[in-house]
Structure 1
Amino acid sequence: MAQSQGTEPERAAHNSATAFDEMLAELAERRQEFREQRYVSKDFVHRLKGLGLYRSATPERFGGQTMPPAEFLRKIERISAVDGSTGWVASFGSQLVYLGSLPLETQAKLYADGPDVVFAGALFPIQQATPTDRGFLISGRWKFASGCMAADIICVGIPGDDSTSGKPRGALVRPEDVQIVQDWDVVGMRGTGSFDVLADNVEVDREWTFIRGGEPVVDEPLYRYPAITYAAQSLSVVSAGVARAALDHAKEVGSGRGSITGAPKLADRAYYRAGIAEAEAVLRSARAYFYEAADEAWQTLVAGGLVSDEQNAHLRLSAAYLARTSSEVVHKVVSLSGTAAIYRDHPLQALLGDALVPQEHAFLSPAMYDAAGAVLMGRPPTVPAFR
Structure 2
Amino acid sequence: MTQNQGTDPEAATRTDAAAFDDMLAELAERRQEFRELRYVPKDFVARLKRLGLYRASTPARFGGEPMPPADFLRQIERISAVDGSTGWVASFGSQLVYLGPLPLETQAELYADGPDVVFAGGLFPVQEAVPTERGFRVSGRWKFASGCMAADIICVGIPGDDSTAGKPRGVLVRPELLEIVRDWEVIGMRATGSFDLVAKDVEVGREWSFIRGGTPAIDEPLYRYPAITYAAQSLSVVSAGVARAALDFAEQTGSGRASITGAPKLADRPYYRAGIAEAEAALRSSRAYFYEAADEAWQAVVAGGQVSDEQNAHLRLSAAYLARTAAEVVTKVISLSGTAAIYSDHPLQSLLGDALVPQEHAFLSPAMYDAAGAVLMGRPPTVPAFR
Instruction: Flag whether TM exceeds 0.5 (same fold).
Output: yes
Q: Deviations over 1:254-302 (max 9, x none)?
A: 0112111111110000000000000000000000000000000001111
**Which residue type is aligned with residue 116 of structure 1?**
D
Q: Residues 272 and 214 from structure 1, CA distance in 2 versus in 1: closer, same or farther, beyond 3 angstroms?
A: same
The within-5 A match list for 1:175-190 is 175-190=175-190
Counting matched residue pairs gives 383
State the match for 2:41 in structure 1. 41
**Which residue type is aligned with residue 137 of structure 2?**
L
1:176, distance to aligned residue in structure 2 (A): 0.3
State the match for 1:288 in structure 2. 288
State the match for 1:231 in structure 2. 231
State the match for 2:365 in structure 1. 365
State the match for 1:274 in structure 2. 274
1:121, distance to aligned residue in structure 2 (A): 1.1
State the match for 1:244 in structure 2. 244
Alpha-carbon distance between aligned partners in 2 of 1:185 and 1:151, rounded to the nearest angstrom: 20
State the match for 1:17 in structure 2. 17
The within-5 A match list for 1:29-108 is 29-108=29-108
Alpha-carbon distance between aligned partners in 1 of 2:316 and 2:168, rounded to the nearest angstrom: 21
Alpha-carbon distance between aligned partners in 1 of 2:380 and 2:198, rounded to the nearest angstrom: 37
State the match for 1:344 in structure 2. 344
Q: Deviations over 1:157-185 (max 9, x none)?
A: 01110000111100100000000000000
Matched, 1:298 2:306: no
- Larger CA deviation: 7-16 vs 321-330: 7-16
State the match for 1:320 in structure 2. 320
Alpha-carbon distance between aligned partners in 2 of 1:163 and 1:255, rounded to the nearest angstrom: 63
SS at match of 2:155: strand
Q: Deviations over 1:228-248 (max 9, x none)?
A: 000000000000000000000
SS at match of 1:171: strand
Runs of 4+ in 1 over 2 A off after TM superposition: none
SS at match of 2:136: strand
SS at match of 2:114: coil
1:321, distance to aligned residue in structure 2 (A): 0.1
1:203, distance to aligned residue in structure 2 (A): 0.2
The within-5 A match list for 1:159-198 is 159-198=159-198
Alpha-carbon distance between aligned partners in 1 of 2:253 and 2:114, rounded to the nearest angstrom: 45
TM-score w.r.t. the length of structure 1 is: 0.98
TM-score w.r.t. the length of structure 2 is: 0.98
Alpha-carbon distance between aligned partners in 2 of 1:131 and 1:325, rounded to the nearest angstrom: 45
**Which residue type is aligned with residue 113 of structure 2?**
D
Alpha-carbon distance between aligned partners in 2 of 1:251 and 1:138, rounded to the nearest angstrom: 52
Alpha-carbon distance between aligned partners in 2 of 1:228 and 1:220, rounded to the nearest angstrom: 16
**Which residue type is aligned with residue 48 of structure 2?**
L
Alpha-carbon distance between aligned partners in 1 of 2:121 and 2:263, rounded to the nearest angstrom: 50
Matched, 1:208 2:217: no
Alpha-carbon distance between aligned partners in 1 of 2:91 and 2:128, rounded to the nearest angstrom: 29
State the match for 1:384 in structure 2. 384
State the match for 2:27 in structure 1. 27
Matched, 1:132 2:147: no
Alpha-carbon distance between aligned partners in 2 of 1:381 and 1:126, rounded to the nearest angstrom: 22
**Which residue type is aligned with residue 305 of structure 2?**
G
Q: Root-mean-square deviation (CA), in Å?
A: 1.0
- Larger CA deviation: 308-317 vs 250-259: 250-259
Matched, 1:122 2:140: no
SS at match of 1:368: helix
Alpha-carbon distance between aligned partners in 2 of 1:257 and 1:193, rounded to the nearest angstrom: 36
SS at match of 1:115: coil
SS at match of 2:363: helix
Alpha-carbon distance between aligned partners in 2 of 1:303 and 1:37, rounded to the nearest angstrom: 45
Alpha-carbon distance between aligned partners in 2 of 1:140 and 1:36, rounded to the nearest angstrom: 28
1:253, distance to aligned residue in structure 2 (A): 1.1
Alpha-carbon distance between aligned partners in 2 of 1:67 and 1:94, rounded to the nearest angstrom: 9
How high is the sequence identity, in percent, across the aligned residues? 84
The answer for unaligned runs of 5 or more in structure 1 is none
Alpha-carbon distance between aligned partners in 1 of 2:300 and 2:12, rounded to the nearest angstrom: 28
SS at match of 1:351: helix
SS at match of 2:197: strand
The answer for unaligned runs of 5 or more in structure 2 is none
**Which residue type is aligned with residue 51 of structure 1?**
L
Alpha-carbon distance between aligned partners in 2 of 1:344 and 1:211, rounded to the nearest angstrom: 44
**Which residue type is aligned with residue 14 of structure 1?**
R
Q: Deviations over 1:171-229 (max 9, x none)?
A: 10000000000000001000000000000000000010111111001000000000000
Alpha-carbon distance between aligned partners in 1 of 2:150 and 2:331, rounded to the nearest angstrom: 32
